[in-house]
Amino acid sequence: MSSQLDVGIIIGEATPLTWDRWKHVCQLIDRLGFNSLFRSDHYYNGKQKEAIDVYLSFVIAAETTSRLRFGPLVTPVTFREPVNVGRMAQQLDALSGGRFILGLGAGWYPDEHEVYGLDFPAPTERYDRLEEAIALMKELWYSENGTFEGNYYNIKGTNSKPHPPPGRPEILIGGTGPRRTMRIVAEHAHEWNATPMLPADYKKSIDALERHCADVGRDPAEIRRSMLIFATIGPDERNEDLALQRFLDMMAPEGSGISLEDAIAAGHGPWRGSVEELLDHVGQLRALGLDEVVFEHFCHEEDDIPEWIAAEVKPGLEAL
């Protein structure tokens, strides 16, 4: 476990995002002392809004920040060929001096796949593809004669330069599935990111991860642990209400037939409460080994909420 709990920010699809605003957000989050800045990798989530390409935006993050870790949280294996993701990742690693984090997952949102004409196979195939994609990318990164022959992907004699140093880019795996996800984390991940969980459920996922680590002969302490929290909090009632509405626009949009209760039941509900209650909640997770908490910045057309979190919430979290 890290000596201090880190605090990060993620930008999702709750609010339209332009290039100018993304540049501003990168500089703001870096200046405020947050540890990381992630973007969720979706074509859309909830309602389709103005957006900018995730991987192109990471070039700006690399160039306009000096210390932030950054990357996708997470890239579905269904979106892009792994050779393309791998090549972009190694270039971003070089550009940022090792600050790029490659977040990967099996994908979960069928609607965007249907709208954009992307295949969305059954879960077993998606996890099989994810395992192949990671193996291919490692061969691409570290070999001067990269060769991989899988059921879905292959390369034949690649020498993709610049080759990153061993252990880079760092791989983050998102999800909480006890069988396939935790196994992939145990075998490949530098970091495991969990969706919002109660402490009791988080403990069950940790137990599953530790069993898989024992099976593959890996020390679970080597794996950094982070968690996304949809905290609709802010300095005043206006900001809290706006954050909650943006959350609903994303997770339970009008006309979708999905209610707030449905989102909560699916494990994607918002966290609401006082700062003291938040510190207590995260403190219980920290006691179980959490290294970083990542808050979604729902209202990124304004700076009020991250400035307030940096001043009023982050110091208490870092002291846990």
Closest by Cα among 231, 253, 6 to 111 = 253
Q: What is the pLDDT, as a whole number, of residue 6?
A: 98
pLDDT tens digits for range 45-73:
888 889 999 999 999 999 999 999 999 99
Measured in degrees and rounded to the nearest 5, phi and psi for residue 71 equal 160, -175
Is the separation of the CB atoms in 28 and 304 below 8 Å? no
* CATH of residue 290: 3.20.20.30
Q: How many domains does the chain have?
A: 1
Q: Is 118 helix (H, G, I), strand (E, B) or coil?
A: coil
- Does 1 fall in a domain? no
Q: Is the dihedral of CA 80, 82, 83, 87 positive or negative?
A: positive
Would you say 234 and 308 are in contact if contact means Cβ atoms under 8 Å apart? yes
**pTM for this structure?**
0.95
CA distance linking residue 271 with residue 8, whole number of Å? 16
Domain extent for 226: 6-318
Question: Looking at residue 254, what is its pLDDT?
Answer: 67
Q: What is the pLDDT, as a whole number, of residue 260?
A: 73
Q: Is residue 255 part of a domain?
A: yes
Tell me what pLDDT residue 224 has. 98
Residues in the chain predicted with pLDDT less than 70, given as ranges, are 253-258, 266-268
pLDDT of amino acid 1: 82
Taking a C-beta distance cutoff of 8 angstroms, is the pair 167, 188 a contact? no
Kindly give, in sequence order, each residue whose CB lies less than 8 Å from that of residue 98, ignoring residues fewer than 6 positions away: 164, 165, 168, 169
CA distance readout (Å), 23 to 35, 59, 312: 17, 10, 24
